[in-house]
Amino acid sequence: MVNQLQDLVREAEQAIEKAAGAKALEDLRIKYLGKSGLVTEFLKGLNRLPEGERPQAGKACNEAKNRIGRLLDQKMESLGDSLIAPPADWDPTLPGRGLLPGKRHPLHSVQKEICGIFSGFGFQVVQGPDIETDYYNFQSLNFPADHPARDAHDTFYLDGDLLLRTHTTPVQIRVMESYKPPFNVVAPGRVYRNEAVDATHHHVFHQVDGFLVDRGVHFGHLKGILDAFAKNFFGPKIGTRFRPSFFPFTEPSAEVDISCVFCQGKGCRICKQSGWVEIMGCGMIHPNVLANCKLDPEEWTGFAFGMGVERVAMFKYDIDDVRLFYQNDLRFLSQF
Ligand code: 2NL
């Protein structure tokens, strides 16, 4: 039996020497030392031996077991780094899966582009709070108490006197209260209206409000700045026109149209055959608004304007549904 064990150990030594990887070594451990392994079977057979032979045979069994175990451990250790080496079928020349890096949301890009154009004209970019008081959102801006825009259907009211701003114009009141004229400021940001969502309305949207106050500012300055903005944003061939309108906080007030970006003014479905599309509202700041901010309307005059970021983005990129901006569908977002 001792001779048989010696043969077995020799056989195991050779097999371990030849074993190429962790899997082969594990198989050998099972073959020799496992529950029904070859060495284990010898151990189990010890009690069938005559009593006199048992101590010597037991010792030989243990020595065989220890030696094979040690050889397996040593070999496993010597494989070292090669255990974590790539499999033979690994092709390092295959292209990777690629990363999808994050990028700016199209609304943010457009808002930035608008502010960038006005920065180029010398305007400062200022931000203010989304939660406003009734005073800054309405009263200071010359809204009569019964004005329909104050109706609960349009405004999200919070506790007490607070509300979610319905435009970013209140930021301008805060600027006029805190600094001295002259002013030239654009205020970008999120605004809220309690309206049903459809292809052209959303209860959260974005606005860029702008104003300029100095001595001797007149409507010609307003037209010049907004025409230059339109040509910068939509392209040099774009024309503008100003139609009379009404806002409580400007007098006179106007809507700004641009020649239709889709048909170059020829008339199409987008401009409803008129050749023009409305992009913003504007006007000369109402004397009451200046007086509310402790500015003498006899000394200071100013123009102001406000545009919807979604609206101009939709014209610029031919997007027909405002909800696309808010659905976070990568098929839409990855186009920008
Ligand atoms: C619109 C119209 C407008 C203004 C915003 C403004 C700012 C000051 C004083 C008075 Cl400091 N007005 N901003 C003026 C006219 C129109 O926005 O339809 N926006 C989407």
101 found inside a domain: no
Q: Whose CA is nearest to atom 3 of ligand 1?
A: 306
Mean of pLDDT values over 43-72: 85
- Do 165 and 314 fall into the same domain? yes
Mean of pLDDT values over 127-133: 98
Helices (H) and strands (E) in the chain, counts: 11, 9
CA of 159 to the centre of ligand 1 (A): 26
| Residue 31: domain span | 2-82
- Do 75 and 206 fall into the same domain? no
CA of 179 to the centre of ligand 1 (A): 19
Interatomic CA distance for residues 89 and 102, integer angstroms: 33
227 compared with 6, residue with greater pLDDT: 227
Q: What is the pLDDT of residue 62?
A: 87
297 found inside a domain: yes
- Do 72 and 213 fall into the same domain? no
100 found inside a domain: no
- Do 124 and 69 fall into the same domain? no
The answer to whether residue 55 scores a pLDDT higher than 70 is yes
Q: What is the pLDDT of residue 142?
A: 94
Side-by-side strand order, sheet with 240-247: 124-125, 183-192, 204-214, 301-308, 276-285, 250-259, 240-247
DSSP character string of 36-99: T-HHHHHHHHGGGS-GGGHHHHHHHHHHHHHHHHHHHHHHHHHHGGGGGSPPTT--TTS-----
Ligand 1: which residues within 6 Å by Cβ?
169, 172, 207, 209, 211, 247, 249-250, 280-283, 285, 289, 304-308
The best mutation among 136, 154, 168, 249 to test binding of ligand 1, ranked by most ligand atoms within 8 Å of the C-beta, falls on: 249
Residue 307 CA, closest ligand 1 atom number: 20
- Do 64 and 125 fall into the same domain? no
Q: What is the pLDDT of residue 153?
A: 62
**How many CA atoms are closer than 13 Å to the CA of 250, on its beta-carbon side?**
26
CA of 165 to the centre of ligand 1 (A): 13
- Do 49 and 113 fall into the same domain? no
Which of 206, 123, 162, 171 has its CA nearest to residue 293? 171
- Which of 82, 115, 145 terminates a domain? The answer is 82
CA of 149 to the centre of ligand 1 (A): 14
- Do 50 and 123 fall into the same domain? no
The answer to whether residue 1 scores a pLDDT higher than 80 is no
Estimate to the nearest angstrom the gap between the alpha carbon of 222 and the chain centroid: 35
* pLDDT 10s digits, 163-200: 999 999 999 999 999 999 999 999 999 999 999 999 98
276 found inside a domain: yes
CA of 207 to the centre of ligand 1 (A): 10
- Do 322 and 253 fall into the same domain? yes
- Do 230 and 317 fall into the same domain? yes
Residue 214's pLDDT band (boundaries 50, 70, 90)?
A: very high
Residue 238's pLDDT band (boundaries 50, 70, 90)?
A: very high
93 found inside a domain: no
- Do 142 and 76 fall into the same domain? no
- Which of 82, 117, 135 terminates a domain? The answer is 82
- Do 127 and 212 fall into the same domain? yes
5 compared with 331, residue with greater pLDDT: 331
112 found inside a domain: yes
Q: What is the pLDDT of residue 58?
A: 84
Q: Whose CA is nearest to atom 18 of ligand 1?
A: 281
Mean of pLDDT values over 274-283: 95
Residue 82's pLDDT band (boundaries 50, 70, 90)?
A: low
The best mutation among 114, 169, 256, 307 to test binding of ligand 1, ranked by most ligand atoms within 8 Å of the C-beta, falls on: 169
* % residues pLDDT > 90 (the chain): 62
The answer to whether residue 145 scores a pLDDT higher than 90 is no
Q: What is the pLDDT of residue 83?
A: 62
Q: What is the pLDDT of residue 321?
A: 95
Q: State the total domains in the chain.
A: 2
- Do 215 and 308 fall into the same domain? yes
* pTM recorded for the entire structure: 0.73
Q: Whose CA is nearest to atom 12 of ligand 1?
A: 304
CA of 127 to the centre of ligand 1 (A): 15
128 found inside a domain: yes
Which of 61, 65, 68 has its CA nearest to residue 13? 68
- Which of 82, 117, 137 terminates a domain? The answer is 82
CATH number at residue 152: 3.30.930.10
CA of 248 to the centre of ligand 1 (A): 9
301 found inside a domain: yes
CA of 6 to the centre of ligand 1 (A): 99
